[in-house]
Amino acid sequence: MKTASLLLSIGFYLTFAAPLFGQTENPGLKIQHLTGDFYVYTTYQSYGGKPFPSNSMYVITQAGAVMIDTPWDSTQFQPLLDSIEIRHGKQVVLCLATHSHEDRTGGFDFLKAKGIQTYSSRQTLEICKANNQKQAQHTFQKDTLFTVGQYRFEAYYPGEGHTPDNLVVWFEKDRVLYGGCLIKSTEATDLGNIREANLLAWPQTIRNLKKRFPQARYIIPGHQDWSSTQSLDHTLRLLQQHANQRR
């Protein structure tokens, strides 16, 4: 395992999309306290004519704020940074993406222009290059420990699932497991976007997470409600449901 070290309000800004042809307004940016120095922030894009939520997270450290994934809505890049600075008196110093999709890496160029260090796995970088997507400045090989300020966290690759490169981020001291789109919310009724999914490997990947992090107190999925700790089991049920429908 490698180790990477970095030395180094709520003033919400809500951007509303004008309702066209009966579409619901975009809620903009929502920030909720998780525990301690951890916050879940949610941005939205239209799906089926309605705003669909995408969850990301940030952590306040003595050295600055760490973002896990970027906003899905590009209009919220600057409002998020402003909100963090207004509420916490901190600037974002690092952002780590959990896979290559736009709802995870879309803000990389914006953050880099602000002097914020961006990270992804080498696998994610190669996929982003192949698809002409936003790319991180720095890469690591799957399982890597980061230290920023007083916090130490692990980027862990449990196997293929939602995408070939999906990884999770684990904060052991606070028992926070950020799963991104690999983990489905208990609110989800299907697997969502499976264009790049490995449906055969995904169940074992979830079981790998259950075995590796049985003590998780908080589990954050990539979309929809994140209040339940049963999302790993729910993801397995959705995978089995999908498999049964294909028979």
Which of 188, 190, 171, 182 shows the shortest CA–CA distance to 59? Answer: 171
CB distance 101 to 181 below 8 Å:
yes
CA distance linking residue 65 with residue 43, whole number of Å: 18
CA 216 from centre of chain: 17
CA distance linking residue 102 with residue 69, whole number of Å: 10
CA distance linking residue 200 with residue 161, whole number of Å: 8
Q: How many residues does the chain have?
A: 247
Which sequence positions are flagged as catalytic?
99, 101, 103, 162, 193
